[in-house]
């Protein structure tokens, strides 16, 4: 689990500010994901990436931007933070299993608790 | 899109008894079903998973069953212990459409409490 890290672990910001959450993995996994976790909703996918320079929207992408210039990094940016974006954010990575179209295990980072005032 | 429903949302069992958590999914193309355990303030961690070519998988006190026809799968924990207290999430894959990539849709979670 030490192979995937997130920073900062805690962040307090104000409405309207830009915030970037960082995610770094050392396994060279192809796939990376951003989730948000809110009470009563479990984990919801925000964005995912299949490889460097390949990203796509998940279930709740509005208000977020991602980039992936390097395989090991997948930053998530809130362009203009809103109170509804107060949440715990988890980054995850995985590597597809060879053949058969099977998905592989996702490994989660420790999470970032974001509060928007 | 894929939808995963999980029941119950909370579950309290006596230590030593069994606990069962059930999930249903909507996409018949789903083929991978992991279960994650999340302790308070910690990250989700995979505890067991099952692929659609098998109906049951067991790992010590934990087992998962899959009924593809009915599109439901269940987590069974036997001889529960205090350290089993946590939130458990089921999940099902949703094929992304390229390579062998998949994204996982999670259920809303079950808070399991073990009474001493």
Closest to B48 (Cα-Cα) out of B12, B23, B70: B23
Quote the pLDDT of residue B98. Answer: 56
**What is the rounded average pLDDT of the residues B65-85?**
96
> Is residue A103 over pLDDT 60?
no
For A21-31, b where at least 16 C-beta lie within 10 A, e where not — what string? bebbbeeebbb
Backbone angles phi, psi at A58, to 5 degrees: -105, -145
To test the contact with chain A by mutation, choose from B104, B107, B108, B111 the residue with the greatest count of A C-beta atoms within 10 A, namely B104
Nearest CA in chain A to B108: A42
Nearest CA in chain B to A30: B101
Kindly compute the dihedral angle of the four CA atoms of residues A24, A28, A33, A38, in this order, to the nearest 10 degrees: -50
Q: Grade residue A102 by pLDDT with cuts at 50, 70 and 90.
A: very low
**What is the rounded average pLDDT of the residues A6-32?**
95
Quote the pLDDT of residue B85. Answer: 97
> Is residue B15 over pLDDT 50?
yes
A40 touches chain B (CB under 8 A): yes
Residues of B with Cβ-Cβ distance to A48 under 8 angstroms:
96, 103
- Nearest by CB: A96 against B44, B99, B104: B99
| Each residue's pLDDT tens digit, A53-94 | 889 888 899 999 999 999 999 999 999 999 999 999 999 998
Please identify which residue in the block is written with the tokens 């970037």: A20
- Asked if B99 and A51 count as a contact pair (C-beta separation under 8 A), the reply is no
Range 87-116 of B in CB contact (< 8 A) with A: 89, 93, 95-96, 98-109
Contacts of B60 (CB under 8 A, 6+ apart): none
How many C-beta atoms surround the C-beta of residue B14 within 10 A? 11
> Is residue B60 over pLDDT 80?
yes
Out of A86-90, A101-105, B23-27, which region has the weakest mean confidence (pLDDT)?
A: A101-105
Quote the pLDDT of residue A98. Answer: 60
If you average pLDDT over every residue of chain B, what do you get? 90
Nearest CA in chain A to B92: A103
Number of separate helices (H) and strands (E) present in chain B: 0, 11
């Amino acid at each position: 689990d030490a192979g995937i890290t997130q920073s900062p672990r805690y962040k307090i910001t104000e409405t309207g500010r830009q915030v970037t959450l960082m995610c770094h993995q050392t396994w060279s996994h192809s796939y990376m994901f951003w989730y948000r976790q809110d009470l009563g909703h479990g984990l919801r996918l925000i964005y995912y990436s299949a490889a460097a320079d390949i990203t796509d929207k998940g279930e709740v992408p509005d208000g977020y931007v991602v980039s992936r210039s390097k395989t090991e990094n997948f930053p998530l940016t809130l362009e203009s933070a809103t109170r509804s974006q107060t949440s715990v954010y988890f980054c995850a990575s995985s590597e597809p299993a060879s053949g058969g179209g099977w998905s592989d295990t996702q490994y989660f980072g420790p999470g970032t608790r974001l509060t928007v005032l | 899109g894929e939808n995963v429903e999980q029941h119950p949302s909370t579950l309290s069992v006596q230590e030593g008894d069994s606990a069962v958590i059930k999930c249903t999914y909507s996409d018949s193309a789903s083929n991978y079903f992991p279960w994650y355990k999340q302790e308070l303030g910690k990250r989700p961690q995979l505890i067991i998973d099952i692929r659609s070519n098998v109906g049951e998988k067991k790992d010590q006190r934990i087992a998962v069953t899959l009924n593809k026809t009915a599109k439901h799968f269940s987590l069974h924990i036997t001889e529960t212990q205090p350290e089993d207290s946590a939130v458990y999430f089921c999940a099902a894959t949703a094929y992304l459409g390229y390579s062998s990539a998949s994204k996982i849709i999670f259920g809303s979670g079950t808070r399991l409490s073990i009474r001493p």
